[in-house]
Chains A and B, each alone.
Chain A
Amino acid sequence: MTTITDPRNPGTAVAGRRALAWSTVLPFAVVMAYGSGFWIISLRGAAGAMGRTDAPFATWLRESTLLLPVFVLAVLAAVIVAARVFGPALRGRRTTAATALLIVAAGTLVGAAALVASSAYDFHLETTQHVMMQSMRDPFCVGACAQGPQHATLALQLKVVGYGSLILLASNLVLVGWVLALRGGQLKLTSARRMLRPGHREG
């Protein structure tokens, strides 16, 4: 278990170290993982390589679940940073909003990284397919003629990454806001049920 320290009261015994509130970390990680997965798979359906676009629903379930631990780590990192900056108990809307934005940023970073990896793989597959098709149809198409489609493919995948990152950001803002609202606008960074002795470290 990870523990955190209140920077504003480093000397106080009770507030010194607390257990992380997994009930905060997990919901945000789950909605962002499956939300981002939805957009990544949908973008792949729009511009991805053939062979990676079959059974999108099952692919979404599988890949989102695989990405979930990374999202958990990202949210965890955001929560730790927030706790160190704002203290374990958030006071006021500003600190809550700032923490939520940190969570959004962390989730978007992970989602964007996954999108970049997916697009890079698509580009590799599509380029291979292009070379194959070109050789099949027009063996005299070399140089600029052959490079044109590759450049177009690259441009397309860059568009996917650019627009996709913005979509992920917007999606995460909505999802994190929604979870936050479901929680009544309150974020707990530490568990109130379990107080730890000063100096004790778990995990």
Chain B
Amino acid sequence: MSEETTSRGGVSRRTMLQLGAVGATGVALTAGRELGGPYLARRGLLSADGAFAATSTVLGDTLLYIEDFPISPLILYPFVDKLLIPPAASPVPPSEYKYWASPPGPGMGQQNSLHNEIHQLWPTKLGLPFPIVYKIDVKVSTHSFTSSQVLPIDKDGQPTASFDAAGATYPAGTKRTLPMSTIYGFNGTFPGPRINAEYGKPVLVRFENHLDENPLVLDRQDFGSKDLTFLTHLHNGHTAPESDGNPHYSMTAGPYDRGYRPGMFVDNLYLNWPAGGDDREKQSFFWFHDHRMDQTGSNVYKGMVGLYPIYDPKNNLDVGDERKGYHLPGVRKDNLDGSFEVQYDIPLALFDCRLDDGVTVHQDIHDTEGEFPDAGNPRTHPEWWGKTFYKHFPNHGFVGDIFTINGTAYPVLEVKRRKYRFRFLDASIARIYELKLMTSTEGPKTAASLGYQDEELEGQWRIPDGQQCMKFTQIASDGGLLPYAIPRDSFELWPAKRREVIVDFTKWQDGTPTKKGDVLYLTDVMKMPNGRMWSNSSRFDPDPDYKIPMMKIVIGDYAPDNSKIPTKMRDLPPLPSNWKTLMNDRLIFEVKRGSGGGEIEWLINDKPFDPKIVANSLINPAGKTPPAQQKMGSFNLWEIRNGGGGWVHPFHLHMEEHRTVMRNNRDVTGGGDPGHPDDVSREDLVALDPGESVIIYRGFRDFTGPYVAHCHNLAHEDHAMMFGWSITK
């Protein structure tokens, strides 16, 4: 056919095709720039390599690693169950523990039931008293996240069928009561006990493994360490390796295993003594959790979480008595057993979970490795309907769709009209929260009733008309009290991070007084549909419709208040003026996604975690790849890089707090990065946005031996994103 015969209105077919091709190219380039550019930029992928990483991610997510998560049944009556505040644990009196078959003590063989270890630094060497002794049994037990009835719903938010352990099926629309979930818990509870500690008063906790005992014949389901071992880490206590509960230690000393087996015990000694004996290194809120190699996530998710606020009685600065020292909110009551409670000082452990819907296939790389053969995976488990669901090795990371605080979903807290101190902890596997205090005229509505589906159902409830009503006053981060209080509209809470705030419930942020019966909500405004990273937050592309009420706060009667919002608190340990001279010799560690065998591995410096060796740095500016070994008493710069791929990583370094000195090649010692205001505090966890690089200054004092550093996205940690390092004499 000739060109002339195909001519239309004077334009030939040939020209039309050429114009069409050029036009399509132009449209594609413009659309890519306008739509894809901002998306890639938010994920640190706006580069030539980033475009490949983004494509790889899309391919992996849509073709290669398709995975389903259940939609938890809708909790119909939230904000009814009261917030559980774990009571202070009672110590074991000396009259009791001295008659134990193996009493705690400083001698060789007294540190664990294998009798092959000794406490590296017994308190008396520091002039400290004999430790206060606690005993915590690691047990199989049950837990309920809510007393509310639930309505089973599907991915469209519509009522769906449900099941029970006896094999019955309930038609769609049937309201149900949740079965108890099986947990592995410290003393059989979730969260576990709260140990209120004080600097200058060492604590020794005997953790004893009873996970082999199952008197209630509970179904253990298909997660939690298969061999029932445990390893407890006080995050981030300044402790010797044998009490640190880290896999580099456990595989090279002590148990010479991934953890302590049933029947064994270990005495973890927490000196409650700041690094280097420097008061400026004092911290204020620890938590203890399982750290068993390759199974930390599943064990933590199964309940192995405990709280450990620590007070500072020196000069009564922070002793839990608001009349003294920094006048932080708290009214202390000493118990006869030696423990103490502090009213108006409340720990809040945030945790998200998913409950089985009975129709989601349980399928995981661990099935191919022979774990939990009784489960018969891959298959559905209708008999586990309503119990916790866990995917050990998710491609996208694991996030839950039910938000809990201190083990209760959507609790209510009645407060007095006065100031409170809240100690926030993110005990989730991967979810990052951004918290605000909001009011709502219309109150919470279910996400399903608002027409949301699939991932948008996460959180279950929303307050569409939510408005910020109060500010937080941040007083502490991971590393303890800040030099000065910081007013915050909201703050991010990354996995394992702690933030302490004061909230004044006597007035709204505009200054008008509150009154009895007023209601506000602790609200999450960071949308994180999967464990990769947020899709929306205040820092990046806020979603005004995403307001998840996590806890209802009801204002009650007036109560006396002697607390103050302090203007000055704890000074930071000084940085040496010549810290930049250490830059060339810094140690560099890059965390990134790798591949390995049917699923993806998470690697550091291109290597999976080898618990028996210390890692080596990447080539540093001095041209060396030094091993991650530091002399006791030394200080150094370490750089942690996010190797990209559109993930964020909460990177945790054991043993001492650090100070961020550079972020993305910028000196931030005087502040300066608005996205990371906590860079000017001491921390034990580096928050790595996509593609970021952070240089930290840290010390290596008081102890020698093996430690670890790892990503605290527990799905990453359990799949090799960890490295061993050590302190030498």
Contact B49 A55 (CB under 8 A): yes
Q: Is A87 among interface residues, defined by CB-CB distance under 8 A?
A: no
A42 in contact with B24 given A49-B595, A149-B365, A184-B17 (CB within 8 Å): no
How far in angstroms is the closest Cβ of chain B from A154?
Answer: 8
Residues from chain A with Cβ under 8 Å of B25 in the complex: 178
Q: Does A41 contact B (CB under 8 A)?
A: yes
In the bound assembly, the distance between CA atoms of A136 and B601 in angstroms comes to 15
CB of B1 within 8 Å of the partner chain: yes
Cβ–Cβ < 8 Å partners of B51 in chain A: 57
Q: In angstroms, how far is the closest chain A Cβ from the Cβ of B614?
A: 15
Contact string, A177-203, partner B, CB cutoff 8 A, digits 1/0? 010111111100000000000000000
B594 proximal to A (CB < 8 A): yes
B13 A126 Cβ-Cβ under 8 A: no
Q: Is B60 touching A46 in the complex (CB atoms < 8 A)?
A: yes
- Counting CB contacts under 8 A, is A69 at the interface? no
**Contact at B52–A41, with CB atoms within 8 Å?**
yes
Return the chain A residue nearest B599 by Cβ. Answer: A152
Shortest distance from the beta carbon of B293 to any chain A beta carbon, whole Å: 8
- Kindly state whether residue A148 has any CB partner on chain B within 8 Å: yes
Task: Give Cα A130–Cα B48 distance, bound, in whole angstroms.
Answer: 31
> In the complex, A92 Cα to B1 Cα: how many Å?
6
Quick one: which of B581-605 are within 8 Å of A by CB?
594-599, 601, 603
The answer to whether B369 touches A148 (Cβ under 8 A) is yes
Query: Contacts A55-B49, A57-B49: A46 and B56 contacting too (C-beta < 8 A)?
Result: yes
Question: Is the beta-carbon distance between A182 and B365 smaller than 8 angstroms?
Answer: no
**Does B368 reach chain A (CB closer than 8 Å)?**
yes
Contact with B along A39-56 (1 / 0, CB 8 A): 001111111111101111
Most buried by A among B12, B60, B598: B598
In the assembled complex, the CB of A186 is this many whole angstroms from the nearest CB of chain B, namely: 7
How far is the CB of B504 from the nearest CB of chain A, in Å? Answer: 50
Leading 7 A-B pairs by shortest Cβ distance: A152-B598, A148-B368, A45-B56, A184-B14, A50-B594, A56-B52, A181-B21
A residues less than 8 Å from B20 (CB atoms): 181
B residues 408-440 touching A (CB-CB < 8 Å): none
Question: Given the complex of chains A and B, what is the CA–CA distance between A38 and B15 in angstroms?
Answer: 30
List 18 A-B pairs, Cβ < 8 Å.
A42-B56, A44-B56, A45-B53, A45-B59, A46-B56, A46-B57, A49-B596, A53-B56, A57-B48, A57-B49, A122-B595, A129-B601, A133-B596, A141-B370, A148-B367, A151-B598, A152-B598, A178-B24
Q: Cβ of B101 < 8 Å from any Cβ of A?
A: no
Q: Which residues of B contact A47 (CB under 8 A)?
A: 60, 64, 595
Q: Select the stretch in A3-11, A78-86, A103-111, A156-164 that faces chain B.
A: A156-164
Q: For residue A65, which residues in chain B have a CB less than 8 angstroms away from its CB?
A: none
Question: Would you give the 0/1 interface string for B1-32, flagging 1 where the beta carbon is closer than 8 Å to chain A?
Answer: 10000000000111101101110110000000
Given A46-B64, A156-B64, A181-B21, A130 and B52 contact (CB-CB distance below 8 Å): no
**Residues in A neighbouring B15, C-beta threshold 8 A:** 184
Chain A residues lying within 8 Å of B48, measured Cβ to Cβ, are: 57
Q: Known A46-B60, A184-B14; judge A155-B598 contact (CB<8 A).
A: yes
A28 at the interface (CB under 8 A from B): no
* Best-buried of A126, A137, A141 by chain B (most CB within 10 Å): A137
User: Which B residue sits closest to A155, measured CB to CB?
Assistant: B598
Smallest distance from the beta carbon of B593 to chain A beta carbons, Å?
Answer: 8
With a cutoff of 8 Å between Cβ atoms, the chain B residues found around residue A38 in the complex are 52, 55
Cα A141 to Cα B597 with chains together (Å)? 15
Say if the beta carbon of A153 comes within 8 Å of chain B: yes
Answer yes or no: A1 CB below 8 A from chain B CBs.
no
Which among A50, A51, A186 has the highest number of chain B CB atoms within 10 Å?
A50
What chain A residues lie within 8 Å of B1 (beta carbons)? 92-93
Q: Are B56 and A186 in contact (CB under 8 A)?
A: no
Contact of B606 among A46, A51, A155 (CB under 8 A): A51
CA A56 to CA B384, docked complex, whole Å: 44
B607, closest chain A residue (CB): A50
- Residue-wise interface mask of B (37-55) relative to A, using a CB-CB cutoff of 8 A (1 in contact, 0 not): 0000000000111011101
Do residues B596 and A148 form an inter-chain contact, with CB atoms below 8 A?
no
B610 interface residue (CB < 8 Å to A)? yes
Q: Which of B13, B49, B595, B608 is in CB contact (< 8 Å) with A133?
A: B608
Is B63 on the interface with A (CB-CB < 8 A)? yes
Secondary structure of the B side of the interface? helix
A50–B603 touching, CB < 8 Å: yes
- Is A60's beta carbon under 8 Å from chain B? yes
Task: State in angstroms the CA–CA spacing of A129 and B13 once bound together.
Answer: 56
**Chain A residues numbered 74-102 whose CB sits less than 8 Å from any CB in chain B:** 92-93
Q: How far is the CB of B26 from chain A (nearest CB, A)?
A: 12
Complex CA gap A55/B720 in Å reads 22
Are A129 and B597 neighbours in the complex by a CB distance under 8 Å?
yes
In the complex the two chains form, is B59's CB within 8 Å of A42's CB? yes
Separation of A93 and B594 alpha carbons in the complex (Å): 47
**Binary A-proximity of B76-113 (CB < 8 A = 1, otherwise 0):** 00000000000000000000000000000000000000
Check B612 for interface membership: any CB of A closer than 8 A. yes
Q: Give per-residue flags for A139-178: 1 if the beta carbon is below 8 A from chain B beta carbons, else 0.
A: 0010011001111110110011001000000000000001
Tell me whether B267 is interfacial, beta carbon within 8 Å. Answer: no
- Closest chain B CB from A32 CB (angstroms): 16
A36 CA to B369 CA, complexed, in Å? 35
Q: Which residues of chain A come closer than 8 Å to B21, judged between CB atoms?
A: 178, 181-182
CB closest chain-B residue, reference A51: B606
**Complex contact B13–A185 (CB within 8 A):** yes
- The reply on B244 being an interface residue by CB < 8 A is no
Kindly state the separation between the CA atoms of A35 and B129 in the bound complex, as whole angstroms.
71
**Inter-chain contact A149/B56, CB cutoff 8 Å:** no
> B290 an interface residue at 8 Å Cβ cutoff?
no
CB pair B59 A46 closer than 8 Å: yes
- Docked Cα-Cα span, A200 to B675, in Å, equals 73
Asked whether any CB of chain A lies closer than 8 Å to the CB of B294, the reply is yes
Q: Are A186 and B14 in contact (CB under 8 A)?
A: yes
**A93 to B12 Cα, complex, angstroms:** 15
How far is it, in angstroms, between the C-alpha of A11 and the C-alpha of B14 when the chains are bound? 32
Identify A156's interface contact among B18, B22, B49, B598, CB under 8 A: B598
Q: Among the interface residues B49, B52, B597, which one has the most CB atoms of the partner chain A within 10 A?
A: B597
Contact indicator B59/A145 (Cβ below 8 Å): no
A57 proximity list for chain B (CB < 8 A): 47-49, 51-52
Instruction: Count chain B CB atoms within 10 A of each CB in A41, A127, A133, A144 and give the residue with the most.
Output: A133
Residues of A within 8 A of B611 (CB): 136-137
Task: Assess whether A137 is in contact with B294, with CB atoms less than 8 Å apart.
Answer: yes
